[in-house]
Amino acid sequence: MGFEVPKHAPAFGTYRWPTAWHIRWQGSKGLAETSVTLSTRKSFGNWVLAGFSMGIVSGKLSYDGQQIPLYGLAELFMM
C-alpha cells in the first residue's frame, strides 16, 4: 500500500505543484492500483509559502483484472 507523487511542476513560492499521483491499496478482490496525471491547472491563490489551485486529472484504475479509465477534478492545497 502506498501513495506516491512522482512528478512536480515549479510554483512561485517555496513549494512545487504535484502533477502526477500513483496509489496502491489492497481491496477485497486483491491489489488495486491507480495512476493519474494532471492535464491542466488553474491557480486561484499563491502566497509564497502556500497555494491553492484546481485541475483536471485523467488516468486509469487497475483492479480485479479490469482497466477502468478515470477522469475528474483535483483540488490542490500546498504548504
Delimit the domains of the chain by residue range.
1-25
Taking only the tens of pLDDT, the chain with its 79 residues reads 899 999 999 998 899 999 999 999 999 999 999 999 999 999 999 999 999 999 999 999 999 999 999 999 999 999 8
pLDDT the model gives residue 79: 84
d(CA 7, CA 4) in angstroms, rounded, equals 9
Look up residue 15 and give its three cell numbers. Answer: 513549494
Q: Distance between CA atoms of 41 and 55, rounded to whole angstroms?
A: 4
pTM: 0.89
